A and B are shown apart, each in its own frame.
Chain A
Amino acid sequence: MKKILLVLVGLVVCSGFAAEDASEVTQRLLKETMDRGIEILKDASLDDDHKMTTFQGLLRERCHTELMAKLVLGKSGWTSLSEEQRPEFISAFIQMMTRSYYTKMSMADLSTVEISYAENEEISAKKRVLKAFIKDETDIYHLEYKFALIDDHWGIYDLVIEGISLLASYRSEYSDYLKQHSGAELIELLEQKVAEVSE
């Protein structure tokens, strides 16, 4: 009986430590990602193309990109794609999303930007939301970074800016599009958009 009690106490204590760790890990990951992102954007030794590919690499490393791509299509949209189309969609979507985030960040006046981190809320054992404020000379923006624990790795799967969720916005748009078009057409259009922006 004593042994069982000890094991139970041990489990409770360990789960307490695990929760604390998750909070610290996600906080650290976000801070590192933001600092590294700003460092890349400010790096005068890199040309624009190099900056963007480095920035995109950072986002790929810190975000659950595959989960994001699946979620923007939803279960029905995702299952409507063939096995061959799925990686094509992931690649096109991630390329466009990371490029878009890079463009937005590069538009900001980084010399005046201040980032402060607020709450770190546990939604479930596998989900956390970190709130942050980005302040420039004139405005304060409220951001929420949603983190997921997948395969023992915490990563960002959604970003909410002033209440506008990146995934929810794409999701509405793509599900509307897929009502009248095929998955192949969606992938083609996305690839076309990426190519247009790259020019």
Chain B
Amino acid sequence: MKFRVFCLVSFLLSGCAFAQESNDFDCFNEFEEELQEQVDSVEIPDPLETLNRSIWWLNDKLYFYLLKPVASGYSKVLPEVGRESIANAFENLQAPERVVNNLLQLKFSDAGTELKRFSYNSTIGILGLRDPATENYEIPTHEEDFGQTLGHYGVKPMMALQLPLFGPSNLRDTVGMIPDMFLNPVYYIESLAVKIGVKSEEVVNGTSLRLEVYEDLKNEHLDMYRFLQDAYEQNRLKKIKE
């Protein structure tokens, strides 16, 4: 009898030990599988990697030697509140793009909300310089662009692209930039010099509000090109799913 009990206890104990080991292993596996799925879902082919990395290198140098010094000087001249107002105005100008792409995705309610935001911000918000739609009426924005619309209807990113000045993208979103361009009022400015000036102001102003963010990310990542491309795809996937 004692032997039987001893055998039973030994068996149970060995079972517990195994379960403990197996439990730790399973625990690791469960998280491992979840993360691997997440990584795989945003991994896209990068057949032009050499070219893309060269363009990223160029963008990186442009940022440090041109954009950052200009944006730093600009931020010293114009106070933050002024720069935020300008950023609001540029965002307001993108309302047609958001309305049309919401409609194309049959998100009629969101398109209506965007129209409401545009009317509030353009009037009470003094040509979009302020954002009373968010601040006073708590009307959320529903960012949509043509790349997201294509994604909504199942178009895959196809391949990674790094665009000069614009940074990480993919083939689907790059194609999507063309119809969006026609929906932005800046496109209809006749003088090329003025158009370039307005676009440059948008980029410099935006950068001045995010100074040091790029440097901070670069400090912590081993391969900034890979990180930017990957983060871009993750963010786009989230926006398309919304």
The answer to the question of B180 belonging to the interface, with a C-beta cut-off of 8 Å to chain A, is: no
Decide yes or no: A177 and B222 within 8 Å by CB, A100-B216, A163-B239, A165-B234 being known contacts: yes
Q: Enumerate chain B residues within 8 angstroms of A137, measured Cβ to Cβ.
A: 84
The answer to the question of A171 belonging to the interface, with a C-beta cut-off of 8 Å to chain B, is: yes
The answer to the question of B5 belonging to the interface, with a C-beta cut-off of 8 Å to chain A, is: no
B54 CB to nearest A CB, Å: 18
A18 CB to nearest B CB, Å: 17
Q: Enumerate chain B residues within 8 angstroms of A177, measured Cβ to Cβ.
A: 222-223
User: A196 touching B43 by the CB < 8 A rule?
Assistant: no
| A-side interface mostly | helix
How many Å lie between the Cα of A171 and that of B35 in the bound state? Answer: 9
Q: Which chain B residues (194-238) contact chain A, with CB distance < 8 Å?
A: 209, 212-213, 216, 219-223, 226-227, 230-231, 234-238
Interface stretch of the complex, out of B24-32, B115-123, B183-191: B24-32
User: B212 touching A173 by the CB < 8 A rule?
Assistant: no
Decide yes or no: A162 and B222 within 8 Å by CB, A71-B35, A75-B32, A100-B216 being known contacts: no
User: B30 touching A124 by the CB < 8 A rule?
Assistant: yes
The answer to the question of A28 belonging to the interface, with a C-beta cut-off of 8 Å to chain B, is: no
Residues 131-174 of chain B: 1 if any A CB is under 8 Å from the residue's CB, otherwise 0?
A: 10000000010000000000000000000000000000000000
A5 CB to nearest B CB, Å: 26
The answer to the question of A67 belonging to the interface, with a C-beta cut-off of 8 Å to chain B, is: yes
The answer to the question of A60 belonging to the interface, with a C-beta cut-off of 8 Å to chain B, is: no
Which among A126, A127, A172, A197 is the interface contact of B39 at CB below 8 angstroms?
A172
Which among B31, B84, B213, B216 is the interface contact of A148 at CB below 8 angstroms?
B31
Q: Enumerate chain A residues within 8 angstroms of B238, measured Cβ to Cβ.
A: 162-164
A135 CB to nearest B CB, Å: 9
How many Å lie between the Cα of A164 and that of B27 in the bound state? Answer: 23
B219 CB to nearest A CB, Å: 5
| B-side interface mostly | helix
Which among B32, B35, B219 is the interface contact of A197 at CB below 8 angstroms?
B219
How many Å lie between the Cα of A165 and that of B230 in the bound state? Answer: 10
User: B226 touching A172 by the CB < 8 A rule?
Assistant: yes
Q: Size range of the interface on A?
A: 35 or more
Decide yes or no: A107 and B231 within 8 Å by CB, A126-B30, A167-B35 being known contacts: no
How many Å lie between the Cα of A127 and that of B222 in the bound state? Answer: 29
B34 CB to nearest A CB, Å: 8
Q: Among B84, B219, B237, B239, which residue has the most Cβ atoms of chain A within 10 A? A: B219
Q: Enumerate chain A residues within 8 angstroms of B216, measured Cβ to Cβ.
A: 100, 103-104, 107
How many Å lie between the Cα of A25 and that of B239 in the bound state? Answer: 30
How many Å lie between the Cα of A81 and that of B124 in the bound state? Answer: 61
Chain A's closest residue to B43 (CB) is A172
Residues 172-183 of chain A: 1 if any B CB is under 8 Å from the residue's CB, otherwise 0?
A: 111011000000
Q: Enumerate chain A residues within 8 angstroms of B231, measured Cβ to Cβ.
A: 164, 169
User: A163 touching B39 by the CB < 8 A rule?
Assistant: no
User: A169 touching B234 by the CB < 8 A rule?
Assistant: yes
User: B237 touching A163 by the CB < 8 A rule?
Assistant: yes
The answer to the question of A193 belonging to the interface, with a C-beta cut-off of 8 Å to chain B, is: yes
How many Å lie between the Cα of A193 and that of B78 in the bound state? Answer: 34
Q: A-B pairs with the 6 shortest C-beta distances?
A: A163-B238, A100-B220, A164-B234, A172-B230, A168-B38, A164-B231
Question: Can you list 16 A-B contacts (CB < 8 A)?
Answer: A70-B28, A99-B220, A100-B216, A103-B216, A138-B84, A138-B209, A167-B35, A169-B234, A171-B35, A172-B43, A172-B227, A176-B226, A177-B223, A189-B222, A193-B219, A193-B222
- A interface residues (Cβ-Cβ under 8 A, vs B): 67, 70-71, 74-75, 96-97, 99-100, 103-104, 107, 124, 126-127, 137-138, 140, 148, 150, 157-158, 162-165, 167-169, 171-174, 176-177, 186, 189-190, 193, 196-197
